[in-house]
Chain A
Amino acid sequence: MKSCLVVDDSRVVRKVARKILEDLKFECTEAADGAEALARCKERMPDAILLDWNMPIMTGIEFLKKLRLERNGEKPVVVFCTTENDMDHISEAIRSGANEYVMKPFDSEIIESKFQEAGLV
């Protein structure tokens, strides 16, 4: 079973995403901001990370840049999942090492399609 870390400051979004990912046979853990996510990753690198952008304490993009410098930090497939939906944000995410990008609102079909693109399902 592959593991996925769901990072979002909204508990509702985490819950919805988790349900979709569990249906895709991912074992999920959660974090409410970038700093917590980084701590999770230091304990154990997940196979995939579903990552919000705007969060308190540490944003998704700050987290991603730090993650990619960690030991084994290049391994997780990172899929952004954010309301930011302009080309500048998308480009910055991909330049910073994201593998795929979901623009909210999302549904199970989009998550499945994007995880497929990223080679996860």
Chain B
Amino acid sequence: MNPADFAFLAELMKSRSGLILTPDKSYLVESRLGPLARAEGLSSVDEFLGILRGRRDERLMRATSEAMLTNETFFFRDKTPFDLLKEDILPPLVKARAAGHRLRIWCAAASTGQEPYSIAMLLDQNPRLTGGLNYEIIATDLSEKCLERAKSGLYTQFEVQRGLPIQMLMGYFEKVGDSWRINEKMRNIVQFKRQNLLEEIRTLGRFDIVFCRNVLIYFDQPTKRGVLERIAMQIAEDGQLLLGAAETVIGLTDAFKPSPTRRGLYARNPEFRGRAAA
């Protein structure tokens, strides 16, 4: 690949999504942009990048930045975050909330919806966990394509067999043609919205619990810190944050404190007051 094209693409990704594209990842460019190039009737990714760089067409730039993202996800991914939600996070939080409070949970990089729907099924299956409080799950992602799929609630046979116990498939899904669709009740509990984590997130409101898993890994240190601190400003003083298995706040910000006993769990630091906008 032409180095100027690569530099252009890397800059596009960095500014639009925070993704750091290093030369060792250049193999990804071919596989991710190949389908886009073909859809545009072009014979190669090189040709596609040349045109992208020349025209800077907004539709193509957006499609490109979405296509470069990794959307890998599955139901109840890594298991422990969902156990933590059930055993460590919800019981004290629910106790601390007044009867009329509406619990708000945010999935900050929800991809095709498996993560928020896993939470929805878990809460629906264990009504005692929420102790009669109303709750809502807000699921956001940058990728329009992912959000569309997530909203449809349609999953392939392969996807419903990754991480999803058969009892849950029986209880919450119906078969539609060759696909499986999560039921309307779950689809109504989860609200999907487009949200770039690099941008202002204040309009999302305040949350009790935030899942932000397997997205910080793609960012550089200043971007990670920025995202974490923006999230901190939207979390209740006693709120909790869950990160992916390879992610941490340590060395990045004091907006959260790692749980001394539970890996992947971070408490909002009530002393953190935010940083003056730089």
Contacts and interface: CB of A to CB of B under 8 A. Distances in A.
Interface of A: 85-87, 90-91, 94, 100-103, 106, 109-110, 113-114, 117
Interface string B154-168: 000110011101110
B170 interface: yes
A106 B157 CA distance: 10
B245 to A, nearest CB: 16
Q: Tell me which of B163, B165, B169, B174 has the highest count of chain A C-beta atoms within 10 A of its own C-beta.
A: B165
Contacts of A109: 162
B75 to A, nearest CB: 9
A56 to B, nearest CB: 26
Nearest to B166: A101
Given A87-B175, A103-B157, A113 B162 contact: yes
- Across chains A and B, which 6 residue pairs bring their CB atoms closest together, nearest first? A101-B166, A110-B161, A117-B165, A100-B166, A113-B162, A103-B157
21 contacts: A85-B157, A86-B175, A90-B169, A90-B170, A91-B170, A94-B166, A94-B170, A100-B166, A101-B166, A101-B169, A103-B161, A106-B161, A110-B158, A110-B161, A110-B162, A113-B161, A113-B162, A113-B163, A114-B161, A114-B166, A117-B165
A91 B162 CA distance: 19
Interface of B: 157-158, 161-163, 165-167, 169-170, 174-175
A87 B172 CA distance: 11
B174 A102 contact: no
Nearest to B169: A90
B158 A90 contact: no
A102 B170 contact: no
Given A102-B161, A103-B161, A113-B161, A87 B170 contact: yes
A110 B160 CA distance: 10
Contacts of B157: 85, 103
B196 to A, nearest CB: 31
A104 to B, nearest CB: 9
Contacts of B166: 90, 94, 100-101, 114, 117
A39 to B, nearest CB: 28
A45 to B, nearest CB: 22
Contacts of A114: 161, 166
Given A91-B170, A94-B166, 4 more contacts: A87-B170, A87-B174, A90-B170, A94-B167
B115 to A, nearest CB: 16
Contacts of A100: 165-166
Contacts of A117: 165-166
Contacts of A113: 161-163
A87 B174 CA distance: 8
B239 to A, nearest CB: 30
Contacts of A85: 157, 175
Q: Tell me which of B157, B166, B167 has the highest count of chain A C-beta atoms within 10 A of its own C-beta.
A: B166
Contacts of A106: 161
A109 B165 CA distance: 14
A114 B167 CA distance: 12
